[in-house]
Amino acid sequence: TSSSDDEEGEAATLIPASPAQDPQHADRPAAGRRCSGCDDPSVRGLVVITACFTLLFAGWVPMENLLSTYEGDLGYYALMTVYLAVVPGSFVAPWIMARAGPRGSMFIAAVPYTCFAGALVLKELGIGTRGEVLYPCAVGVGLGCGVLWGSQGVLLKTFSEAFDIGQTLRTQSRSAGSLGLFNGVGQAAAPGGGLLALIGSSLMAQFEIGRLTLYTSLFVSLAVGNVLLFAMPDAKQLLLERRTQLRELGQKSLYNPHGDHRPPAARPPVSILAIPRLLLRSPVLCYLQLCFCSGGYANAFMAGSFTADIVARHLGPEWIGYVMAARNVAGVLSGVGLGRLSDRIGRYRCYL
């Protein structure tokens, strides 16, 4: 009958033809013979983010951990300036991301890290020895910290949703289990890059290589990380295309059940002054402030006091990299492991 013919035709459009049935793709291997989704643009986006963060923090983590030891009070006050600037930068981050987009925001936030390393190079060359260049760069690093991590989180979520929709389109079965894995891999890039750089800086200190060479190598790592951001796919455009394809099949994304139009409450605030009020409205965020404060205190203590007053004094400066590398190993393992675990047991239970 005509209805059965219509059903068969509709099913044929939903089920992709095999290589044997499609002469145009007869020379291609079957999808099951290779890694499903490995050539997906969203996977390429994850690789680019991971590579960028690895290089960025390969340059930043050694500076953060060695400044108070190598530069004395200048390094200590530079770190203090960074941490003080993080506070207002966190409120400005949503406003910047709403206007520059996640990829543009990440580039804007990553440039001050490179400038900070460049200021240290200039100091070793005799320019700005009192911090005339270093302190403004430290302010830029602090202001961009929230933007950097916020844009990374948005990009990882966008690429993970695009990947899940792509898997749904390829396998015709609903998929929504890569958010934790994408976040785990992305979050592990920072301690992973720091791990490699800390070991390298310790070896340089052990062989008595000068600080100019060390700071220059960190500057190059940061600059390459900035340039790699231009190789990142357009996450927003990719997700819109995938959602359109999914909508044509009559399905909705598990990440975005309301469609492409966000409800008014989810839109970015127009005014920077409105951001603190929005944050204080959330009881969850109010409770999490204690966790955030304790995490910030622990990070500042490890980078500023623990390295200079304990490790360098009792073991020597060349051991700072190895000790902090052990900490970063735990960060890499927990980032990937807990990210995958959160996909199975839920993010709330994993956070507890």
* DSSP string for 81-109: HHHHHHHHHHHHHHHHHHHHHHHHHHHHH
Return d(Cα 82, Cα 190) in angstroms, integer. 18
Could you tell me if residue 128 is left (phi over 0), alpha (psi between -120 and 50 degrees) or otherwise beta?
left
pTM: 0.67
CB atoms inside a 10 Å sphere around CB 219: 21
Q: pLDDT value at position 120? A: 92
Could you tell me if residue 131 is left (phi over 0), alpha (psi between -120 and 50 degrees) or otherwise beta?
left
Q: pLDDT value at position 4? A: 46
The alpha carbon dihedral of 177, 180, 183, 188 has a sign of negative
CA 271 from chain centre, in angstroms, equals 26
Return d(Cα 228, Cα 317) in angstroms, integer. 32
Q: pLDDT value at position 37? A: 55
Residue stretches of the chain with pLDDT short of 70: 1-38, 172-181, 183-184, 186-187, 190-192, 194-195, 198, 202, 205-208, 250-276, 278-279, 304, 318, 328, 331-332, 335-336, 339-340, 343, 347
Question: pLDDT of 271-326, one tens digit each?
Answer: 556 666 766 777 777 777 777 777 777 777 777 677 777 877 787 776 777 777 77
Q: pLDDT value at position 279? A: 67
Nearest to 320 by CA among 339, 305, 337, 341: 305
Q: pLDDT value at position 8? A: 44
Which CA distances in Å does 299 have to 176, 305, 330?
Answer: 33, 10, 14
Return d(Cα 183, Cα 109) in angstroms, integer. 19
Q: pLDDT value at position 318? A: 67
8-state DSSP, 133: T
Beta-carbon contacts of 206 under 8 Å, excluding residues fewer than 6 positions away, are 318
Q: pLDDT value at position 110? A: 92
Q: pLDDT value at position 308? A: 73
Q: pLDDT value at position 29? A: 42
Under 8 Å between Cβ of 311 and 323: yes
Return d(Cα 44, Cα 72) in angstroms, integer. 42
Question: pLDDT of 233-267, one tens digit each?
Answer: 888 888 888 888 888 776 655 555 555 444 444 45
